[in-house]
Amino acid sequence: MSGGDKLDFEIRPNPAPVSAAERAALMANPGFGRIFTDHMVTIRYADGKGWYDARVEARAPIPMDPATAVLHYAQEIFEGLKAYHAGDGGVTLFRPEANAARFTASARRMAMPPLPEPAFLDSLRHLVEVDREWIPAGDDGSLYLRPFMYASEVFLGVRPAAEYLYVLIASPVGSYFSGGVKPVTVWVSPHYTRAAPGGTGAAKCGGNYAASLVAQAEAIEHGCDQVVFLDTVERRYVDELGGMNIFFVYDDGTLVTPPLTGTILPGITRESVITLAREAGHEVVERPVAFDEWQADATSGRLREVFACGTAAVITPIGRVRFPEGEFAVADGGPGEVSMGIRQRLVDIQRGRTDDPYGWVHRVF
């Protein structure tokens, strides 16, 4: 079937999959984003034809003409989510419908045709089913799913492309930060910003991340793990990290996080943290947080924890903050009780080990 919300997927098994022994060796220490499964999903789009040719096939290089539009005008979006081994031996996906909705929103912002959300969800299910042996066991292991779409028309001209390719690949992963959950040190960038009002900050597109890399490199030069961006207009308020949202936990148990004003990615983990914090009885406030306020409240002790969150890292405590004029610590610099409690609740839901009153977990099988 061509077009429409549902697509028929042709399954073409890889004729030369990785052997069980080699797969086990690769997955013994997978790291993050370094190894990949046997298969991928591809779906094509053309103006006047819609979405068509949905297939699961052997993972392979994608042939690309030098004049392919994405190489010149950067029409590209992506998502990231995980498949987990459940406590009963099954496999779960966490809030894939939220990723589908965000993928649609990103496509519209980048003048791209949205992939029907049922087709997006079906692509995840098909790939997880065919590559289920690549899902790592254990609390730190999961199968990271990377759906992406780009302008595949061959042309040079500044306009939305007429052809697109959707691709889904998968990577067995361990902990995002080596050594597991431990406090990170962040660098507050004095020179660079992530996104401006009216820009693409709320879209999950590669350009946002490309623009952050020079600041991330600056953070590493200063002995930090991640960069923190301030707002573009006043260079005063905290926006987010290079690839994660941020939360502040105060001594009265209140959580504060910057609001979604179009310059911050609407993180699915962020939204989940807000829900679970309120479930645990915490007040959650979405408001601007000035960097000066962050420093003053950390120094006074009023600020008890700061943590970053995202699909890849889940929840990561922030222990120290560096900036050109100095640095300061947050509380004792270690993982906080509030953030670690929320993290454990989130992980238990993701892996189907506890009740899921929100309907977040989708069973693949």
* Active site residues per annotation: 204
What is the rounded distance in angstroms from the CA atom of residue 165 to the CA atom of residue 174? 29
Please report, in angstroms and rounded to a whole number, the separation of the first and last CA atoms in the chain.
Answer: 25
Nearest to 35 by CA among 177, 163, 135, 129: 135
Cα dist. 253→238, 281, 313 in Å? 20, 9, 23
Alpha-helix residue ranges (DSSP H) falling in 1-151: 20-27, 69-73, 96-109, 117-130
β-pair type (184-188, 50-58): unpaired
DSSP 332: T
State the DSSP H helix or E strand holding residue 206, giving kind and residue range, or none if neither: helix 206-221
What is the rounded distance in angstroms from the CA atom of residue 99 to the CA atom of residue 151? 20
Residue 191: CB atoms within 10 Å: 9
What is the token pair recorded at 77? 């979006």
CA angle 81, 32, 129 (to 5 degrees): 45
Residue 124: CB atoms within 10 Å: 23
Q: Are 217 and 189 in contact (CB under 8 A)?
A: no
- Mutual angle of helices 268-279 and 337-350, in 10-degree steps: 110
What is the rounded distance in angstroms from the CA atom of residue 264 to the CA atom of residue 84? 27
Task: List, in order, residues 6 or more apart from 219 with CB less than 8 Å away.
Answer: 186, 187, 189, 225, 226, 227, 242
